[in-house]
Structure 1
């Protein structure tokens, strides 16, 4: 779950930079115009978000 949390934080920081400054860090680091590596990073961040939703749901049910 650590990797999923890390990816969610990366995604959140990237969206924050986009919202505040119009700067897409992932595109800057891995190539703009949706390069293959950028698409992989975005996909992994999305999967991590879904994993966090599932983790939140199971944690919430336990309490």
Structure 2
């Protein structure tokens, strides 16, 4: 029984590591996309900031 519970535990650790790695990959992909469209993003951020300022 101990070995079964232990292998399940290590599997969950590997699952977590896999999920973290996937999240890092998604974040890096988003970061490179944002970097490539930096001017558009800056304009969008400015519009959003103006909109939020208008709401306040």
In the superposition, the TM-score normalised over structure 1's length comes to 0.45
Structure number with larger C-alpha Rg = 2
Structure number with the bigger relative contact order (C-alpha 8 A, sep ≥ 6) is 1
